Amino acid sequence: MTIFMPDTNYAYFCAKCQSVRTDSTKARELALRLNLDLWVPADRVTSMNYPAGALQCLEAIRRCMAVIVQPPVGADCGWELGVAYMLGKPTYLLSPLPETDWMTKIGIHELGEK
């Protein structure tokens, strides 16, 4: 599946977005400081069904310039962070992840207060 995304000058927003929608205000502020737009899956994915929605998110991560993470995160976010890490995407964490989420912290720039 190919998703037409003419602009790649954006950061991918990694946060809960289906049953609970995370406020993207802080992520938008950081994206603006990075001179990027913010790609929010809840606003851009045309289908929250599998596999269509997952493939749209994968393509968005492939094309993004950075990933901005707003905890709390779930299993989908853990997968998105792994993909971003393997693709070498700069990843910014807006607040600390739980100490037990140590695998999702690899390669992340923590910006939040501890």
pLDDT tens digits along 34-65: 999 999 998 998 888 889 999 999 999 999 99
Domain boundaries of the chain, sorted by first residue: 10-110
CB 57 within 8 A of CB 33: no
110's enclosing H/E stretch is strand 108-110
CATH 3.40.50.450 is held by the domain 10-110: yes
Burial tier of 35 (Cβ tally within 10 Å: 0-12, 13-18, 19+): exposed
Tokens of 7: 């602009």
Question: Which pLDDT tens digit goes with each residue over 61-86?
Answer: 999 999 999 988 888 888 999 999 99
Per-residue confidence (pLDDT) for residue 27, from 0 to 100: 96
Distance from C-alpha of 94 to C-alpha of 10, rounded to nearest angstrom: 17
